[in-house]
Structure 1
Amino acid sequence: MRLEHALEDWQQAVGTGPRDEPLGNWNHTRGVARIVRTFHELLALLVSLWLGITAR
Structure 2
Amino acid sequence: MPQLNPAPWLAILIFAWLTFLLILPPKIMAHTFPKEPTPQDTKTNKHSSWAWSWP
TM-score range, shorter chain: 0.3 to 0.5
Q: Which has the higher contact order (CA 8 A, sep 6+)?
A: 1
Q: Which of the pair is proportionally richer in helix?
A: 1
TM-score, reference length from structure 2 = 0.42
Query: What TM-score, normalized by structure 1, do the two folds share?
Result: 0.41
